[in-house]
């Protein structure tokens, strides 16, 4: 649900933390197989370092760089401290093993580690590469590997939801994620635009309203066309598509459950790209009567009055387009809105939705869902602060409380692959603790769960394996957009993370409200149209993060994302001539800082 970020061949890149890589070798016995585990302990330095990044420059891990906890100068002492302090990973074999933590390091240190090279051993295995998972990351990896001469198979299988929803090849994004979400969002924006058209002189019938069944049919027809094109593309590129549920028998063997029976498949290399599925809460009636984002885009009846449980981006996006289509969504928030995002921006998003008539039940958790005799759903819920229990009746209950990695059916213990909760830990080359088994996409631990991230990571992995490339995936400063009615897009650090990393006195926040030209005539609210740049206070004033709320947010932030990754500074931003009249130009007009206390509201649009 975001945008693909290509790595420039030569760019100035900011490394916000050095790391000392300490590598130890420990032998893991699992099913009589032995694998090498690397452990590390990063230092807690946050020095500002500028380096030139060539085409194959190593790329750092955002989480490790920004959340280091230990410091010290004795390698042995640091290594032992790292083993004791980091949460243990476990192999499903039950073998006691030390914590598995590959070195997530800075760009310079990472390239001290040579890229692994895999030579296809034709004839020894059925395939050079088997990709488990037919989503965006797996497919991009499979197609790229074939383009460089590998023999590749791709396994894909979708378990139906409790409601019975299932779909074709292409993964979450195509079938129940980015694509149908954006189409529903567009439908809601069009409804809003139709009513605004009257202010621009169009004669519009006030009785205009959406047809849910027609909308769903149109969306599903498009998805099915993409499924078909994907199957044809795999066939043309000589990727063998296997519609079956794969699980490991041993480190080089899979068992695939097909409609026609079981099939045994061997491969030299595996890439796990199975992604995740929505979670259900452990309360009475949740599974029986609730739906998730896996169901909403193909729902065969109008959702009506809908309770959306969860205030992450999926929940807010669903609530937003339902409101735009004329339904009555309510958002239930357990703790905070848009966890992991800049909280000033998150609260602006919620406030903008409330202004449009979407109520929020804050500090509230569901207790049960009961189906009444009239078919409607009685939901009981509790305020976590006051303990007060209340209830309301809804037509639809949509769970958006997070996603679970699909590791359970893989029998990873047979291959010796270790997991962390419901995810798989990988190093800076997407390698698991088993050297010939890799993972990309939403299934890996601690990386952005975004389609373009999976696509690029899968493609770069295939190039390293089969095309002598040394370019690694850069998981830092990935841009993303939340497609709420008033969209929010960002790239880089949130204000909170910048303060944690560098200290409040070293951060300068430039911000401003603005008035989109297209909002003037229909007199749309401009109260929450806002931009800010989080930057270094002194020196060259490097930009650490950009945040935007307004129309077409993703289109606006994409270009700035490339600039930020190339070393954008505040002076450069201020000396860039904007395109007028656009909303994107507001970044070039930023001059007021939060520290100054001046009013960031503009007086005019053209001076």
Cβ contact 486:349 at 8 Å = yes
Residues marked as catalytic: 580
Report, as an integer, the average pLDDT of 313-328.
98
Q: pLDDT (tens digit, 9 = 90+) per residue, 449-502?
A: 999 999 999 999 999 999 999 999 999 999 999 999 999 999 999 999 999 999
* Structural class in CATH, domain 127-275+406-467: alpha beta
| pLDDT of 170 over the 90 cut | yes
Query: pLDDT at position 206, please?
Result: 75
CA-nearest of 328, 276, 323, 342 to 480 is: 342
Q: Which fold has domain 486-596?
A: Enolase-like; domain 1 (3.30.390)
| pLDDT of 165 over the 60 cut | yes
Q: pLDDT (tens digit, 9 = 90+) per residue, 34-71?
A: 333 333 333 333 333 333 333 333 333 433 333 333 33
The domain made up of 279-403 is a member of CATH 2.70.160.11: no
Query: pLDDT at position 606, please?
Result: 76
Distance of CA 538 to the CA centre of its chain: 32
Binned at pLDDT 50, 70 and 90, residue 158 comes out as: very high
Stated pTM of the model: 0.82
For residues 56 and 274, what is the distance between their CA atoms, to the nearest angstrom? 28
Report, as an integer, the average pLDDT of 153-166.
97
Residues of the chain with CATH 3.30.390.30: 486-596
For residues 49 and 16, what is the distance between their CA atoms, to the nearest angstrom? 7
CA-nearest of 30, 27, 42 to 86 is: 42
Q: pLDDT (tens digit, 9 = 90+) per residue, 411-452?
A: 999 999 999 999 999 999 999 999 999 999 999 999 999 999
Query: pLDDT at position 25, please?
Result: 37
Characterize the bridge pairing of strands 33-37 and 49-53.
unpaired
Report, as an integer, the average pLDDT of 113-128.
71
- How much of the chain exceeds pLDDT 90, in percent? 77
Residues of the chain with CATH 3.50.50.60: 127-275+406-467, 279-403
């Amino acid at each position: 649900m975001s945008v693909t970020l290509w790595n420039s061949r030569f760019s100035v890149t900011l490394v916000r933390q050095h790391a000392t890589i300490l590598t130890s070798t420990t032998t893991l016995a699992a099913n009589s197989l032995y694998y090498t585990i690397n452990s590390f302990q990063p230092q807690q330095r946050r020095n500002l370092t500028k380096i030139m990044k060539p085409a194959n420059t190593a790329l750092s891990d955002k989480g490790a760089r920004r959340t280091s906890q230990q410091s010290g100068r004795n390698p042995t002492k640091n290594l032992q401290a790292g083993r004791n302090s980091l949460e243990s990973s476990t192999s499903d074999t039950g073998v006691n093993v030390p914590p598995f933590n590959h070195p997530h390091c800075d760009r310079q240190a990472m390239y001290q580690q040579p890229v692994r090279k895999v030579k296809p051993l034709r004839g020894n295995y059925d395939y050079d590469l088997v990709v488990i998972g037919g989503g965006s990351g797996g497919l991009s990896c499979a197609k790229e590997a074939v383009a460089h001469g590998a023999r590749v198979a791709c396994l894909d299988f979708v378990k139906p939801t409790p409601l019975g929803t299932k779909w074709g090849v292409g993964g979450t994004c195509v079938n129940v994620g980015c694509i149908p979400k954006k189409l529903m969002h567009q439908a809601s924006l069009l409804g809003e635009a139709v009513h605004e058209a009257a202010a621009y002189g169009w004669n519009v019938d006030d009785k205009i309203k959406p047809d849910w069944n027609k909308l769903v049919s149109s969306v599903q027809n498009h998805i099915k066309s993409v499924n078909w094109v994907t199957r044809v593309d795999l066939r043309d590129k000589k990727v063998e598509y296997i519609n079956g549920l794969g699980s490991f028998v041993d480190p080089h063997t899979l068992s695939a459950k097909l409609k026609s029976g079981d099939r045994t498949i061997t491969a030299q290399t595996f890439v796990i790209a199975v992604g995740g599925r929505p979670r259900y809460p452990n309360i009475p009636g949740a599974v029986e009567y609730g739906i998730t984002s896996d169901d909403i885009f193909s729902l065969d009846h109008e959702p009506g009055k809908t309770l959306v449980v969860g205030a992450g981006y999926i929940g807010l996006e669903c609530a937003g387009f339902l409101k735009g289509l004329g339904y009555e969504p309510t958002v239930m928030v357990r703790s905070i809105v848009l966890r992991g995002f800049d909280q000033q921006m998150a609260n602006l998003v919620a406030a903008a939705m409330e202004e449009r008539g979407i109520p929020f039940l804050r500090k509230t958790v569901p207790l049960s869902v009961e189906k009444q005799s009239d078919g409607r759903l009685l939901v009981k819920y509790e305020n976590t602060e006051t303990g007060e229990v209340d209830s309301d009746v809804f037509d639809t209950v949509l769970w958006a409380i997070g996603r679970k990695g699909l590791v359970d059916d893989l029998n990873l213990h047979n291959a010796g692959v270790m997991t962390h909760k419901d995810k798989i830990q990988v190093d800076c080359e997407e390698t698991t603790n088993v050297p010939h088994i890799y993972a990309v996409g939403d299934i890996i631990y601690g990386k952005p769960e975004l389609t373009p991230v999976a696509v690029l990571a899968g493609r770069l992995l295939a190039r390293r394996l089969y095309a002598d490339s040394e370019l690694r995936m850069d998981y830092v400063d990935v841009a993303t957009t939340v497609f709420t009615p008033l969209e929010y897009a960002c790239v880089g650090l949130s204000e909170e993370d910048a303060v944690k990393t560098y200290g409040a006195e070293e951060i300068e926040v430039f911000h401003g409200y603005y008035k989109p030209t297209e909002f003037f005539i229909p007199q749309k609210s401009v109260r929450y149209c806002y931009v800010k740049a989080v930057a270094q206070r002194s020196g060259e004033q490097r930009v650490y993060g950009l945040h935007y709320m307004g129309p077409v947010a993703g289109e606006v932030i994409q270009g700035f994302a490339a600039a930020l990754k190339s070393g954008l500074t505040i002076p450069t931003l201020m000396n860039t001539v904007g395109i007028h009249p656009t909303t994107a130009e507001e970044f070039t007009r930023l001059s007021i800082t939060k520290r100054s206390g001046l009013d960031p509201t503009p007086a005019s649009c053209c001076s």
